[in-house]
Amino acid sequence: MQLQNQDIVVDQASAQAVICEVTKLTALDSDFEVITKQRDGITYPAFASLPTSLGEMYKAAADAHANADFLVYLDERYSFAELHELASTFSQVLSQEYGICKGDKVIIAMRNYPEWIVSFMGITMLGAVAVPVNAWWSEQELAHVIQHSQASMVIADDKRFAMLDGTLQKLAVTCLIARPNQDQDQSLCLMTKIRQFLANRHEPENSLHSIDNPGTVKQHQYIVDSSDIATIFYTSGSTGSPKGAVSNHESVLTALYTWLMLGSAAGIANGAADTEPTFAPAALMTVPLFHVTGCHTLFLLSMLIGRKTVMMPYWDATIALQMIEQERITYFNGVPTMSLELINHPDKDAYELDSLLDVCAGGAARAPEHVRKISQSFRSGNPSCGYGLTETNALGAVNGPVEYLAKPTSAGLPTPPIVDVKILNDQNQALPQGEIGEIAIKSLSNILGYWQDEEATLAAFSNGYFKTGDLGYLDEDGFIYIVDRIKDIIIRGGENISSLEVENALYNHPSTLEACVFGLPDDRLGEVVGAVVYVNNKEAVDEQTLQLFLTKLIAHFKVPHKIWFVEQSLPRLGSGKIDKRALKTSYPSLT
């Protein structure tokens, strides 16, 4: 299908054509055959053939792609086989030197480093539980999760170790350090432990000491099953204490194989299934690994499909453009602000960006105008977006190039038959098409529940559907539209106002780079609209001018009563979303 949108032409298959291929791929005896399976008495669609564990998937990827580059970090390069060996060895270090057993919780508290990936792989290969935590949290928040998760061990980088050293000693929790600084105990260095173990393994008397051929060396061997817990991802905690979202190996693998199936179907629909690509698949990792977008859609999916992953040390649009050119990046995924910064970069046209095929957004909605700008700004890159949550292991819906331009405000189409979406009312009853209610997602990729929180688990699920807390509806084609977070609706004099709608209107002004809208208390109306806007030049716009501009786009009662202008990026949660709660607390209320 070719979509003409003024001067934009997208020569891609429509969602309908892709879903047609999905139906074929999931049929009986096909590559992604789907059967039904029960979990806790509820029936779900399930892939007939999945690896039994993440460890099995890692091994298959290492065998299939061996010496090809998998991970690039600054001047470091790791092949699929090298990374698998490091992770396999680390799994043995955990077991033999630290007594970590199947089911033990191991926290990963660090910024994006290769050691994050080595740790995650080694933990889950052993059958232990990886507990990634937000590296931007305070000591108090991290200490809470260490205790709440009942962690047996912490793996941290130098900054997190310096912050937590006293807490770890008090709690008597063992820690290894990724890249310790010169003042820290070098014997706790994660990579040093791995190298020492590898060196000992190659000594003659220990020549049989390996994960594939353990010989006479005494070590624990655990059989890891798809129903075993693999991860506990702690939510960003914008309200109250963070909750631990528990997933088994099957949950994570179901998400990965759904994306693999969808990619295969899109390739067939686009006539590219048997065509050698001009550029080998390569992804730019711009977001933290402690969020499922980074861990699942970038790290784990890249491993599954044999895609090189280039890890940025920190976000910088100039560095990103350099990496896209140097490493021939084909896939970009980040919060909307990141792709906008690429588009607006003054030197963008000086870089060769023809390898870039997919410019995806996750974690927050793009303004409709941004979708169009991506198509105009990149020679080969097409806009797309994904919708998912920590509690769904990032699986939910996808909006590809054709429909994204036609439906730029949609979060996308759920992927049948694995994902089912309903819109629920307050009584958990399904609402008809077009009616607004809470978006609920049913899939085997959903979490099992919240760690040590039965009350929150029961409140979050209805007959297998995870209630997202997002308010939205389904259109006539089954596409999801998010109206707002339920708690973020502003009620002004009895009128419901979507903060997302006001934010999208603000993005239409040329001075707006980021916007956050929330309710402010008002004695007469209950609430009025407030906004914090990050602008490129505070001298070029004032409150009255922007308010007048907005009256042409939205109803007068939706126009912010108070606008604060800033010249720096707005604060964000670990998920990449703007921290609305912090902004609402920071800026004064009306009197």
Q: CATH number, domain at 413?
A: 3.40.50.12780
Asked if residue 590 has pLDDT above 60, the reply is no
Share above pLDDT 90 across residues of the chain, in percent, rounded to a whole number: 72
The pLDDT score that the predictor gives to residue 465 is 98
pLDDT in tens, 347-403: 999 999 999 999 998 776 788 888 988 988 898 889 999 999 999 999 999 998 889
Q: Is the pLDDT of residue 455 over 90?
A: yes
Distances (CA, A) of 109 to 300, 315, 479: 18, 19, 37
Cα dihedral across residues 44, 50, 56, 60: positive or negative: negative
| The dihedral sign for the CA sequence 303, 304, 308, 312 | negative
Residues 6+ apart with CB under 8 A from 344: none
Of the two residues 277 and 201, the one the predictor is more confident about is 277
Distance CA 464, CA 488 (A): 25
Of 77-91, 205-219, 368-382, 563-577, the one with minimum mean pLDDT is: 205-219
Give a yes or no: residue 61 inside a domain: no
E runs forming strands in 335-477: 358-361, 382-387, 397-399, 410-414, 420-424, 437-442, 449-450, 461-462, 465-474
CB of 468 within 8 A of CB of 441? Answer: yes
- Provide the pLDDT for residue 2: 30
Which pLDDT band, with edges at 50, 70 and 90, does 255 fall under?
Answer: very high
Is the backbone peptide bond immediately before 417 cis, with ω within 30 degrees of 0?
yes
Using CB atoms within 10 Å of the CB of residue 360, give its burial: 0 to 12 exposed, 13 to 18 middle, 19+ buried.
Answer: buried
Does 374 lie in the same domain as 302?
yes
Tell me, yes or no, whether 319 and 457 share the same domain. Answer: yes
- Outline where DSSP puts E strands in 181-237: 229-234
Report yes or no: 558 and 528 within 8 Å, Cβ to Cβ. Answer: no
Q: Which residue has the tokens 């509806």?
A: 473
Mean pLDDT across the chain: 90
Interacting residues of 449 by C-beta distance below 8 A, sequence separation 6+: 246, 457, 460, 461
In a domain, 301, yes or no: yes
As for how many domains the chain has, the answer is 3
Verify that 328 and 429 share a domain, yes or no: yes
Distance CA 32, CA 43 (A): 18
Query: Which of 484, 499, 524 is the endpoint of a domain?
Result: 484
Do 14 and 161 fall within a single domain?
no
pLDDT average, residue stretch 435-449: 97
Select from 510, 514, 495, 511 the least CA-distant residue to 554: 495
Does some domain include residue 238?
no
**C-alpha distances in angstroms, 528 versus 188, 532, 559?**
54, 14, 9
Q: pLDDT tier at 272 (50, 70, 90 boundaries)? A: confident
Euclidean distance between the first and final Cα of the chain, in Å?
Answer: 55
17 with 129, same domain? no
| Same domain, residue pair 37 and 181 | no
Does a structural domain hold residue 561? yes
Could you report the per-residue pLDDT of 294-309, keeping only the tens digit for each? 999 999 999 999 999 9
The structure tokens listed for 55 are 């460890």
Q: What is the β-pairing status of strands 129-132 and 105-109?
A: parallel
Whether the pLDDT of residue 216 is over 50: the answer is: no
- Whether 57 is covered by a domain: the verdict is no
Helix, strand, coil percentages (3-state) for the chain, rounded to 5, are 35, 25, 40
Select from 414, 424, 366 the least CA-distant residue to 392: 414
476, burial (CB in 10 Å: exposed 0-12, middle 13-18, buried 19+): exposed
Whether 165 and 305 share a structural domain: no
Tell me: do 209 and 254 sit in the same domain.
no
Which stretches does DSSP call E strand in 329-460? 331-334, 358-361, 382-387, 397-399, 410-414, 420-424, 437-442, 449-450
Residue 172 makes CB contacts below 8 A (sequence gap 6+) with none
If asked whether residues 519 and 475 sit together in one domain, one would say: no
Write out the two tokens for 562. 């108070």
With a cut of 70, say whether residue 494 has pLDDT above it: no
Q: In this predicted model, what pLDDT tens digit does every residue of 76-107 receive, in sequence order?
A: 999 999 999 999 999 999 999 999 999 999 99
The string of pLDDT tens digits covering residues 319-341 is 999 999 999 999 999 888 889 89
3-state secondary structure of 300: helix
In angstroms, the CA 241 to CA 315 distance is 28
In this prediction, what percent of the chain has a pLDDT beyond 70?
A: 92
What is the arithmetic mean of pLDDT over 160-189?
A: 95
The boundaries of the domain holding residue 450 are 2-50+246-484
Greater pLDDT, 201 or 90: 90
**DSSP H helix total and E strand total for the chain:** 18, 30
Q: How far apart are the C-alpha atoms of 309 and 329, rounded to whole Å?
A: 9
Residue 265 lies in a domain: yes
Distance of alpha carbon 258 from alpha carbon 251, whole angstroms: 11
Domain containing 502 — which CATH number? 3.30.300.30
Smallest CA-to-CA distance from 559 within 580, 574, 544 is with 544
CATH code at position 129:
3.40.50.980
Res 588 pLDDT > 80: no
pLDDT at residue 94 in the model: 97
Candidate from 147-161, 272-286, 318-332, 356-370 with smallest mean pLDDT: 356-370
pLDDT of 1 higher than 60:
no
Residue 23 lies in a domain: yes
Cα distance between residue 509 and residue 506, in whole Å: 6
* 546: nearest Cα among 517, 581, 575: 517
Are 497 and 416 part of one and the same domain? no
Residue-wise pLDDT for 64-80, tens only, equals: 999 999 999 999 999 99
- Do 357 and 377 lie in one domain? The reply is yes
User: 258-269 pLDDT, tens per residue?
Assistant: 999 999 999 999
Average pLDDT over residues 508-531: 90
Is the CB of residue 223 less than 8 Å from the CB of residue 210?
Answer: no
Using only C-alpha atoms, the chain has a radius of gyration, in whole angstroms, of 24
Which pLDDT does position 203 carry in this prediction? 59
Phi, psi of 233 (to 5 degrees): -95, 120
Q: Is the pLDDT of residue 423 over 90?
A: yes
Tell me whether residue 67 is in a domain: no
- Domain finish residue from 484, 510, 525: 484
Residue 214 has pLDDT above 50, yes or no: no
Q: Do the bridges between strand 449-450 and strand 437-442 make them parallel or antiparallel, or are there none, so unpaired?
A: unpaired
Among 225, 257, 285, residue at a domain's last position: 225
402, containing H or E segment? helix 401-406
Q: Is 75 helix (H, G, I), strand (E, B) or coil?
A: coil
Claim to verify: residue 328 and residue 407 sit in the same structural domain: yes
CA distance 523 to 174: 53
